[in-house]
Amino acid sequence: MSGELIYLTCTIVFTALLWIPYVLNQISIQGLVNAVGYPENPVPLAPWAQRLKAAHYNAVENLVLFAPLVFVVEIAGLTSPATQLSCLVFFVARIAHAVTYALAVPWARSLSFAVGYLALLGIVYQIITA
């Protein structure tokens, strides 16, 4: 399996697990019955959990861009050290984005998002210049 597919798989697994902490927070503050139901006046999540939930949505939105680009690289046979590095940078940037978003670290969330987006552009550049 190529490095690009490995980083895609890692990104998918990371994104697939991001919901667990904020759902556990929901269960801990609302109780299991209310967490799985539709209470009249639900107790809001902790601020970090609200931010992590937003980071999860953002991760899903960016996965929709990342996965097809990796598939294009694979199908077109454009695997290279540059595309592998771009995929690694994207994966690490997504982790940094989720962590810094949940912890409300000033500037770091936006910077990590920008780095991930530049990594996507790096993959696009490798595709269009091939």
State how many domains the chain has: 1
Q: What is the pLDDT of residue 28?
A: 96
Q: What is the pLDDT of residue 129?
A: 95
In this prediction, residues 61-86 reach a mean pLDDT of 98
**For the domain that residue 18 is a member of, what is the CATH number?**
1.20.120.550
- What is the distance between the terminal CA atoms of the chain, rounded to a whole angstrom? 21
CA distance 48 to 42: 17
CA distance 11 to 34: 31
Write the single-letter amino acid at 64: V
What does the pLDDT look like over 101-120, one tens digit per residue?
A: 999 998 999 999 999 999 99
Instruction: Calculate what percentage of the chain has a pLDDT beyond 90.
Output: 92
123 phi/psi in degrees, rounded to 5: -70, -45
Compute how many other C-beta atoms are within 10 angstroms of the C-beta atom of residue 67.
13
> Which two structure tokens, joined as six digits, stand for 10?
């890692």
Write the single-letter amino acid at 7: Y
* 8 Å CB contact between 113 and 93: yes
Q: Among 15, 40, 18, which Cα is nearest to 91's?
A: 15
Full-model pTM: 0.94
Q: What is the residue range of 94's domain?
A: 3-128
